[in-house]
Amino acid sequence: MHRFRNVAIIGVGLIGGSIGLGLRERKLAGRVVGIGRNADSLAKARRMGCVHETTTSVAEGVAKADLVVVCTPVEQIPAFIAQAAEHAPAGAVFTDAGSTKATVVAQTEALLHARLDGLLPFIGSHPIAGSEKTGAEAARGDLFEKRTVVITPTASTDDHATATIEHFWRSLKGRVTRLSPARHDEILARTSHLPHLIASALAAATPADMLPLTAGGWSDTTRIAAGDAEMWRQILLANSVQTLKGLDDFERVLARLRQAVEAGDGQRLAEILAEGKARRDALGS
């Protein structure tokens, strides 16, 4: 199995920390360097065993990297990859772990095209393996096992970069699938971004004095609302068009439910509930 010499991870939180742990536990990298802005957070990542060493300097962190993975909030990804590309060795490959792809990929490719000729050593990635938890203390070396990882090659992507990143995620036991950036965002709007919006709305609509009477249903439905608000602000705005399309469809179903309840139409209500149950059951436990 291919072993990376030096891997640089920019942003060593849940995803970045789990990548580092996975690489180290499987001995897939000779050296893993964690890069970030907060020295205390970096020290925690080092203590947790996510990385071998840390630095607050992108230039220093990527100086020997053959692979650079950017795991920051989505608004920061293009600039970090462009900065890393200025200082990494020739032949280095770059990817990210952002939850949106169309804007991230387009902006990153534009920045790299301004610096590099020919096909680009960058390909967008999204490991669908997140959690409402954040920080290196939540990292797990097995986080990506049997989880779907989307990679989004474009006409500008170098074939070597695509092969390298596909191998990288497979070596962490992820199940790799290829989508265009636009198709990724269309799907994830329905399966990830809209659910977070709905969970947050339900949590916000529940009066504080009623919380002692919540149970499993409320907790299960609102769990993801505990995710980092700033991170989700960026995701929802970056994929606003597709999220709004999903919200339109959700509101139509919600209106049908409201009409059935208002009319006391038990048969119609049962049909809509059964439709939802069948869709959920199709996914399995």
Q: Which domains does the chain have, with CATH numbers?
A: 4-179 (3.40.50.720), 184-281 (1.10.3660.10)
R_g over Cα of the chain: 21
Structure tokens at 111: 């920045």
**Percent of residues, the chain, with pLDDT higher than 70:** 99
- Nearest C-alpha neighbor of 173 from the set 13, 19, 46: 19
**C-alpha count within 13 angstroms, C-beta hemisphere, residue 132:** 13
Q: What is the pLDDT of residue 183?
A: 98
**Percent of residues, the chain, with pLDDT higher than 90:** 94
The dihedral sign for the CA sequence 179, 185, 191, 193 = positive
**Residue recorded with tokens 């993975």:** 69
Report field, pTM of the whole predicted structure over 0.75 = yes
Q: Maximum Cα–Cα distance for the chain, whole Å?
A: 68
User: Per-residue confidence at 131, pLDDT binned at 50, 70, 90?
Assistant: confident
Asked if the model's pLDDT at residue 191 lies above 70, the reply is: yes
Q: What is the DSSP letter of 144?
A: T
Question: End-to-end CA distance of the chain, in Å?
Answer: 33
Q: What is the pLDDT of residue 284?
A: 83
Q: What is the pLDDT of residue 2?
A: 72
- Nearest C-alpha neighbor of 181 from the set 259, 242, 265, 271: 242
- Model pLDDT for residues 133-146, shown as the tens digit of each residue: 778 888 899 999 99
User: Per-residue confidence at 48, pLDDT binned at 50, 70, 90?
Assistant: very high
Q: What is the pLDDT of residue 27?
A: 96
Q: Are 249 and 276 in contact (CB under 8 A)?
A: no
Q: What is the pLDDT of residue 215?
A: 96
d(CA 83, CA 253): 45
Contacts made by residues 212-219, CB under 8 angstroms, sequence distance 24+? none
User: Per-residue confidence at 1, pLDDT binned at 50, 70, 90?
Assistant: low
- Model pLDDT for residues 257-282, shown as the tens digit of each residue: 999 999 999 999 999 999 999 999 99
